[in-house]
C-alpha cells in the first residue's frame, strides 16, 4: 500500500451546514474512491478491507518528500475495520498514502 493515492478536496470558503459523510475503502495498494470533492465539515471514514494500514497525510512513503498538505497528520496503524475518521475544516488539495 505504498503507492500514493491522492485525495482531491475542493471545499467552500465558508462552513457547510449540510455536511456529508464519505466512505473510502482501503486495502493493499488502493483507496477507493481515490478522489473526493468535499465541503468544509464533511467527514471522511477510511474502511479497512483487510490488512494492517494507516492514513498518512505527512510525507510520501516512497520519496520521503512532504505532501505539503494544508493539514499534516498520520493515523495510527490498525487492522480494525475502521482505519481512520477525519472531519475536514481547511480547504485545499490533499495527497496521502499508507506508511505501513
Render pLDDT for 59-87 as a digit per residue (tens, 0 to 9). Answer: 999 999 999 988 898 999 999 999 999 99
What pLDDT score was predicted for residue 76? 96
The better pLDDT of the pair 35, 3 is held by 35
CB atoms within 10 A of CB 17: 7
Report the pLDDT value the prediction gives residue 10, as an integer from 0 to 100.
Answer: 44
Instruction: Find the farthest-apart pair of alpha carbons in the chain and give their distance in angstroms, rounded.
Output: 38
Q: Per mean pLDDT, which range of 37-41, 48-52, 78-82, 85-89 is the poorest?
A: 37-41
- Indicate the DSSP class of residue 13: S
Mean pLDDT over the full length of the chain:
84
How far apart, in whole angstroms, are the C-alpha atoms of residue 85 and residue 46?
A: 6
**Under DSSP, is residue 69 helix (H, G, I), strand (E, B) or coil?**
coil
Amino acid at each position: 500500500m505504498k503507492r500514493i493515492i491522492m485525495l482531491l478536496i475542493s471545499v467552500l470558503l465558508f462552513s457547510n451546514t449540510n455536511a456529508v459523510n464519505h466512505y473510502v475503502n482501503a486495502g493493499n495498494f488502493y483507496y477507493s474512491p481515490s478522489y473526493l470533492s468535499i465541503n468544509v465539515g464533511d467527514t471522511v471514514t477510511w474502511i479497512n478491507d483487510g490488512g494492517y494500514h494507516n492514513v498518512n497525510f505527512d510525507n510520501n512513503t516512497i520519496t520521503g518528500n512532504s505532501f505539503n498538505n494544508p493539514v499534516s497528520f498520520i493515523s495510527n496503524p490498525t487492522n480494525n475495520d475502521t482505519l481512520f475518521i477525519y472531519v475536514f475544516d481547511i480547504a485545499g488539495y490533499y495527497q496521502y498514502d499508507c506508511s505501513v
